[in-house]
Amino acid sequence: MPNIRSLLFSFAFLVLGFTFSFATPTTLIWTPSTDIQPYGKVHLNVDNYTPVKGKDHNDNRLYVQQVYGPTFSLLSGKPEDNLLGKLWSPLGRIMAETGFDYKKGLGPFLDSSPWYFHFKLGVPEGAYFKDMPAFAVGSYDMGTRSHRTNNNVWYLRAAKTVSAGKLNLGRFSAGYFNGNGRLLRDKNGDRDNAGPMIAWERTMSEISDRLWLCVDYQGTQSAYGAINYGFAWKFTNNVSAILAYDIYNNPNSKNTVTFQLDVDF
């Protein structure tokens, strides 16, 4: 696949040279994680959010929301692999990714501008000293239509794996996000565009190294506000899937079931 991969990387850089816009960075269930895609890989996600009820509080029909898109790693986190590291090795430990998505199922008003973009910079746990948390900063849902899809959500997040003796308690993460206040509103239509991101996750090695559990929360009553419970199963080294239940903070929003398929090339 080297030729296809090269074309995809080239296209991403051409697009990002002109504009940034909504997409899914490497996530937990709902919110961006501190993880970065492995260097030299192309990650493809296929996400579906299926409403548990067919109509909203205004009796409007609800559709399955669909998201398709690739994510590309840009920096490896190894000083010897990139120019930053050759200039100064501490900078070379920074990892980065970017990508774009095609989204539909949000209704005619939003589906007419379906392209969104994202990017993320981060460092893994222990990058500079023992017991150092992982950190990530980035943006997503950067849409191409002003006052319509340019949600422009910026976030900062930290994560740390916690143990009690030999018992792995999982990885805990927390952060904060801020988006476009013209678009991110609560149930009353008031600005509600900033809040916390909190999560717990754990690979259930006692059962199988392929099984991962997560509880993921994002604040506000905007379209981003929800608590999500779910699990993932890794079928192969390159293919995994997430199944989760999404409960929205806005009482006017109907809960959904998430199904996400992830494939690495």
Strand partners, 163: 168
Q: What is the pLDDT of residue 168?
A: 96
d(CA 141, CA 66): 14
Phi, psi of 91 (to 5 degrees): -65, -30
What CATH number corresponds to the domain at position 177? 2.40.160.40
Under 8 Å between Cβ of 161 and 168: yes
Q: How many domains does the chain have?
A: 1
pLDDT at 111 over 50: yes
Q: Pick the residue with more confidence: 59 or 120?
A: 120
Return the sign of the alpha-carbon dihedral for residues 193, 47, 150, 100: positive
For 179, phi and psi rounded to 5 degrees?
-125, -175
Contacts of 83 (CB under 8 A, 6+ apart): none
CB 202 within 8 A of CB 212: yes
4 pLDDT higher than 60: no
Query: Is the pLDDT reported for residue 10 higher than 70?
Result: no
In this prediction, residues 123-146 reach a mean pLDDT of 96
Predicted confidence band at 97 (pLDDT cuts at 50, 70, 90)? Answer: very high
Identify whether the C-beta of residue 46 lies closer than 8 Å to the C-beta of residue 68: yes
What pLDDT is stored for residue 60 in this prediction?
80
The residue with greater pLDDT, 11 or 182, is: 182
Cβ–Cβ under 8 Å, residues 228 and 244: yes
Cα(214)–Cα(226) distance, integer angstroms? 14
Q: What residues pair up with 100 in beta bridges, in sequence order?
A: 117
Backbone angles phi, psi at 128, to 5 degrees: -120, -20
**Range in 9-13, 177-181, 256-260 the model is least confident about:** 9-13
Measure Cα distances from 59 to 120, 171, 228, 254 in Å: 38, 40, 25, 11
pLDDT above 80: residue 7 = no
Q: Token pair of 220, please?
A: 């506000």
Report residue 114 as tokens: 């379906």
- What span, in angstroms and rounded, lies between the C-alpha atoms of 211 and 26? 18
Residue 260 forms beta bridges with which residues?
47, 242
Predicted confidence (pLDDT) per residue in 224-243, tens digit: 999 999 999 999 999 999 99
pLDDT at 9: 37
What is Dmax (Cα atoms) for the chain? 59
Band of the pLDDT at 85, cuts 50, 70, 90? confident
- The pLDDT value recorded for residue 23 is 43
Dump pLDDT digits (tens) for 148-199: 999 999 999 999 999 999 999 999 999 999 999 999 999 999 999 999 999 9
Average pLDDT, the chain: 89
Range name among 55-64, 208-217, 235-244 with the lowest pLDDT average: 55-64
pLDDT digits (tens, 9 = 90+) for 245-255: 999 999 999 99
Domain that holds residue 19: 2-264
Q: What is the pLDDT of residue 1?
A: 42
Of the candidates 92, 115, 122, 106, which has an alpha carbon nearest to the alpha carbon of residue 32? 122
pLDDT at 64 (0 to 100): 92
Residue 24: pLDDT band by 50, 70, 90 thresholds?
low
